[in-house]
Chain A
Amino acid sequence: MNPAIKPTTRDAKAAPPGAQPTTPLAALAGKKIPRPTSPSVGRSIYIVEVVKGLLITIRHLVRNVFHQSRMPTLAYPEIRRRLGERFRGRHRLMKREDGTPKCVACMCCETACPADCISIVAAEHPDPAIEKYAVRFDLNIMRCVFCGLCVEACPVDAIRMDTGKYELADESRDRLVYDIEFLLNR
């Protein structure tokens, strides 16, 4: 017997009392499922059981009629579930205080993205203090898996997923590839 594999309590229960559990395989095969016996007379005329069942369902019905507010269903477009603080919704790009995009086109998010949904075209920034900026920043939301790795990867906190927007359906595919304007301003 492999000493690394210890018999669990369940295996021990299945084995006959007093017997040493031999191999794990035998222990697994030891659980015997009894054959179904024919039900008692009381059960086989159903009536009591049917009434029990009916009582369970009517309890649900009455509770739901009188306490509709306690029902888990929400009247969705009008009432929405409160999102967690860390909910990852649609992305947005952050701006500096002067209104220019924070993004320095370092390609970290593009590299980190497992779904390959971000594509950045970089150019030299006129301000010598900043190395680069993104000429194009296209985010294909149809490919996005909302893992949040781009947010983690960003060294300058330029991309966030904190908009809380999750109703992203649209009528054309083109509009689901967000450009830099969209991500900055909406």
Chain B
Amino acid sequence: MTDVLLIAARAVLVWIFPLSLLPLVIWFERKGAAFIQDRTGPNRAAILGVRLGGIVHSLADVVKLVTKEDIVPAHVNRVFYTAAPMVGMAVSLLTMAVVPLADTLVIAGREIPLQVSTLNAGVLYLLAVTSFGVYAIILAGWASNSKYSLLGGIRASAQVISYELTLGLSIVGIIMIFGTFDLNEIARAQSGTLLGFLPRWGVFLQPVGFLLFLTSAFAETNRNPFDLPEGESEIIGYHVEYSSMKFALFFMAEYANMIVSAAITTTLFFGGWQVPYLSTQDLIARAGTLVPVSFGALAAASVGGIVLSRRYARALSRVYVDLRAREADIYTAVFVLLLAGAAGGLAFLGDLPEWGPPVFALVAQLGCFLVKVLFFTFLFVWVRWTLPRFRYDQLMRLGWKGMIPVALANVVVTGFVLYFLESRR
């Protein structure tokens, strides 16, 4: 019974991970775009004066999109038209199933992996499931029975198929170095250091592979500079015939895809859940010193938060006279609570219980993974508001004549280097 519950809990955790990050990533997109373009971005929607710097706008959007009229044009193929957005969302969530959020938790003699499935062919599963993503786009384009949607769908399928090759080939180097398909094993193999100071992450072992992977991940998620299938700003894409929540589902699928791609990039090239310089064993063994240190860091961070929120309060009181002027007080209260919690933790911290060190390692690794994933989702946003879109022929030329040869060469070179290193040993 506990086993079944644990599996369910794991599944829910892995599901919640991308879904709960969604509003945050959409906020990244809006606020990042605004700040890059010297605008302020969304800052109006509020719940009792609390605006969270605009995150509440995502909530307002959800309410708007759910309550909007759902128009199904008369000329569409209803079955596939309805299925397409669901497929899109389902695929991006399915991909998360093999991504480890932290190292296997060993507690009370029980091993709990922090992924839905400890598949030993995880990388293959990834490649297989991500290539399903294009079905959503093609289905949407075709079932809409409109030439604009169809053109968008065709652009998408050509692009995704072209870049999938590079995506697969760029991972080969990583697989050769670490010698496994299991994503948790790959993450675990990235502990330790290179040349004494660099974390032994995939990106330092496979820089070319990383660049290729990242580029094709942009193309696979249909993000700028490869957002021709969608072209939400100018050229019309596969979802012109969609409205209300069906459209929102495509929109959400794009952002969920971003999060998942960021998670995969992190796992393969940035050490996954690895805390830099501290392996799981180190974390567990030195938990006695690391726990107080992290409580102290939390306390310091909350003091910083209090200072910043006071500064924000002064800025707000110059502008607003209504509830919003009091907004920063709430943040200050939250930081004070955090500070109290951290101080209390420090004060009453005796000897750690037996379950303490593994749980501490879990929390540290989850946090580290989260930070890395958020950085990569931010990178997606950052690149989008920096680079212009590729023309279609440029896109194809880059994919087929640029990236695939480089990816193949990377595989060959990696093979030779590994062979010589092996033979010299």
Chain A residues proximal to chain B, CB less than 8 Å = 45, 47, 50, 53-54, 56-58, 60-61, 64-65, 68-69, 71-73, 75, 78-79
Contact = CB atoms under 8 A, between A and B. Distances in A.
Given A47-B211, A54-B386, A78-B320, A61 B40 contact: no
Interface stretch (B1-9, B31-39, B235-243, B360-368): B31-39
A53 B386 contact: yes
In the complex, which of the residues B35, B36, B321 has the most CB atoms of chain A within 10 Å of its own CB atom?
B35
Contact of B40 (A53, A60, A71, A78): A71
Interface string B90-114: 0000000000000000000000000
A65 B35 contact: yes
Interface of B: 32, 35-40, 43, 211, 315, 319-321, 382-383, 385-387, 402
Contacts of B38: 60, 64, 71-73
Contacts of B385: 57
**Which of B39, B43, B386 has most A Cβ within 10 Å?**
B386
Given A47-B211, A50-B387, A57 B36 contact: yes
A61 to B, nearest CB: 4
B375 to A, nearest CB: 12
Given A60-B36, A61-B36, A68-B40, A78 B386 contact: no
A114 to B, nearest CB: 37
B35 A69 contact: no
A57 B320 contact: no
Contacts of B386: 50, 53-54, 56-57
A53 B37 CA distance: 13
Contacts of B382: 54, 57-58, 61
Given A47-B211, A57-B386, A58-B382, A79 B36 contact: no
Contacts of B321: 78
Given A54-B382, A58-B382, A75 B319 contact: yes
B314 to A, nearest CB: 11
A65 B320 CA distance: 20
A50 B321 CA distance: 44
Contacts of A57: 36, 382, 385-386
Contacts of B211: 47
A45 B405 CA distance: 13
Contacts of A64: 35-36, 38
Contacts of A75: 40, 43, 319-320
B225 to A, nearest CB: 9
